Structure 1
């Protein structure tokens, strides 16, 4: 039996990205969504997600935008702005930052989501920062302390021989190197996490053909498929035409038919954690 959580990341990042995510939830195969608590479109996205009754997690973020709690020594600049993906990885690898301040920020992001009337069913991390040893414990400890029973396991499920060329290929080398230790720590936390994460190798390349092939090859187990649908959001990062291709693939009626033929059971983090 295949149980599959199809999770759309980055809700709250912009109106057109959000519109595509909502469409994929209402008309496609998306079953779960991750919300950016410090995203520029957070308030509007949270309101619509509540109206739709979306299963939601918190897309914890230490790399983009402004911290909700202000300046964090060694992590933000003097205005409280996060450092971006590359610099965050350098900081986490070095470990020279205010870990307690980062923990407070993550708790504040979770609290903001709850204050919007949402009961989150899982935590995951923007740009997979949980993979770094300096951050893994921050997230697992937060989940346990706050009664969140499920986490994303950022362990690439695809065969590494099929990894794409750089720059994404270089990212996957990093993910595959760090993922085993992070995965073991997640298991030690006694929290639910799927067996692995599909879609990491298909970033910006998930179209109808690629999605069909992925669903065809997926083995038995409990898995998560990470997706990034949306419409083009001019002037905003990560909002180009590849987002529309994902939206069209995820809402294509052929995908629902293939899922039925493969006896794939679409589910959520909350449902899986309850059965864990």
Structure 2
């Protein structure tokens, strides 16, 4: 069975999602790493600015890079003709994790197509010389049981040793709702999604887990997506418990690429960038005795895992 890493003291991975989405997002993530508290980035290999993200990652070796598995937005890495149940000429057929999950349950999506696209995305990331430390999912698709099962089989064969755990915590929800009354229903919807994803993860991770994979113990950020301000950040820091925790964030600049992208996170990304690079956030972390780490540290600190990803082609059983 895969392992939750339980280490003494409060440790926090701060992961910026959507690396590779646009040039503005790429530049903001690197800035949030260099001048802020971001320790890890999740790479979209089918993003508009993937090549730029890969180049920036090579220039900033201290920024941990994971694969942001994307099965619902844009175009696949595989030739659509080779994964007809998952994608067509216009891109992915399912634009939401729930729709994809239903497609899998009803067997409209073939597992072999899903497996082929997971392999293709891993190989594209590793093929540009990046050391991929972990995998998570765009819109948390990796929580879907069939996707999780395939990842647990495929990822270790490519030298990947960690996945994102979605055991969502949402401290300060009442205060967050009071500060954003106009977005009450959106926040509650995100909170419900986070709790649902957490319940699915808790049910299926013990069943699907691979002994070669480790995951953080707790996760923050689904409920706060688009609303991560200093008060919300403070609530997270004060809620952290001993062991490894992860906070998801979405820094970015609003540019032409982002304006052409189907996302509701626009100006919110710039506000998050400002937050993540402020001195008071760093001071809060230091004063709270929290140690910032990356997925690389998580894997290295777990005694049974050797360091450094190994690139090996996966052959399905």
TM-score grouping bracket, smaller chain normalisation = over 0.9
Aligned to 1:103: 115
Aligned to 1:83: 94
Q: CA deviation at 1:78?
A: 4.3
Q: CA deviation at 1:111?
A: 1.0
Q: Aligned partners of 1:199, 1:189: CA distance in 2, in Å? A: 26
Q: Is the 8 A contact 1:95 1:134 kept in 2?
A: no
Q: Find 1:181's aligned residue among 190, 203, 209.
A: 203
Q: Is the 8 A contact 2:171 2:239 kept in 1?
A: no
Aligned to 2:33: 25
Aligned to 2:248: 226
Q: Find 1:124's aligned residue among 123, 130, 136.
A: 136
SS of 2:215 mapped into structure 1: coil
User: Is 1:94 aligned with 2:102?
Assistant: no
Q: Is the 8 A contact 1:92 1:132 kept in 2?
A: no
SS of 1:121 mapped into structure 2: strand
Unaligned runs of 5+ in 2: 1-8, 178-183, 303-317
Q: Is the 8 A contact 1:155 1:183 kept in 2?
A: no
TM-score (norm 1): 0.92
TM-score (norm 2): 0.81
Q: Aligned partners of 1:82, 1:12: CA distance in 2, in Å? A: 21
User: Is 1:236 aligned with 2:247?
Assistant: no
Question: Using a 3 Å threshold, how does the CA distance of structure 1 residues 187 and 198 change in structure 2: closer, same or farther?
Answer: same
- Cα root mean square deviation, aligned: 2.1
SS of 2:132 mapped into structure 1: coil
Q: Is the 8 A contact 2:86 2:113 kept in 1?
A: no
The structure with the larger Rg is 2
Q: Find 1:65's aligned residue among 65, 68, 74.
A: 74
Q: Is the 8 A contact 1:130 1:182 kept in 2?
A: no
Aligned to 1:43: 51
Alignment of 1:140-151 (within 5 A): 140-151=152-163
Tell me whether 91-100 or 128-137 shows the greater mean CA deviation: 91-100
For residues 225-273 of structure 1, the C-alpha deviation after alignment (integer angstroms, 9 at most, x for no partner) is: 1111111232323341111111111111111111111111111111111
Question: Using a 3 Å threshold, how does the CA distance of structure 1 residues 159 and 220 change in structure 2: closer, same or farther?
Answer: same
Unaligned runs of 5+ in 1: none
Question: Using a 3 Å threshold, how does the CA distance of structure 1 residues 98 and 134 change in structure 2: closer, same or farther?
Answer: same
Q: CA deviation at 1:107?
A: 1.1
